[in-house]
Amino acid sequence: MLKDAAIQSFNIWKSIGKPHSRLEFANMRRDKLRYKLLIREKERCNANYFSGSLNDVLNTKDIDSFWRTWRSKFSNKRVPSVIDGHCNDSDNSDRFAEVFKGT
């Protein structure tokens, strides 16, 4: 809703030549700032929720849940390596062994 208002007021301001001294400019700035403020509030709430969930699992001493929560936020997803058409870890390690055995 705020995003739509910001886009609409920007388009109105742009259509009249982007003046810096008219009511349309003030409306565009107001809507833009409201939308940015909403984004910052959502990010802050998300960070607080994540910190709270980490704190909860630490308090219960559930280490597995702690690391699951940690990885969901900070870990990169592993992309499978494809070597000679194989993406299985054991096949890849066997292929490396074959190649380096010959050198």
pLDDT tens digits, one per residue of 75-89: 666 666 677 777 777
Nearest Cα to Cα of residue 25 among 43, 7, 13: 13
Residue 96 confidence (pLDDT): 78
Sign of the dihedral defined by the CA atoms of residues 40, 44, 49, 54, in that order: positive
Instruction: Please report, for the chain, the start and end positions of each structural domain, with discontinuous segments joined by +.
Output: 2-101
End-to-end Cα, the chain, rounded Å: 64
The proportion of the chain whose per-residue pLDDT surpasses 90, expressed as a percent, equals 34
Mean pLDDT across 46-69: 73
The per-residue pLDDT for range 31-57, each reduced to its tens digit, is 999 999 999 888 887 766 667 777 777
Considering the entire predicted model, what is its pTM? Answer: 0.48
Which are the contacts of 83, defined by CB distance < 8 A and separation ≥ 6? 91, 92, 95, 96
Please report, to the nearest 10 degrees, the dihedral formed by the alpha carbons of residues 86, 92, 98, 103 taken in order. 110
Predicted confidence at residue 80, as pLDDT, reads 62
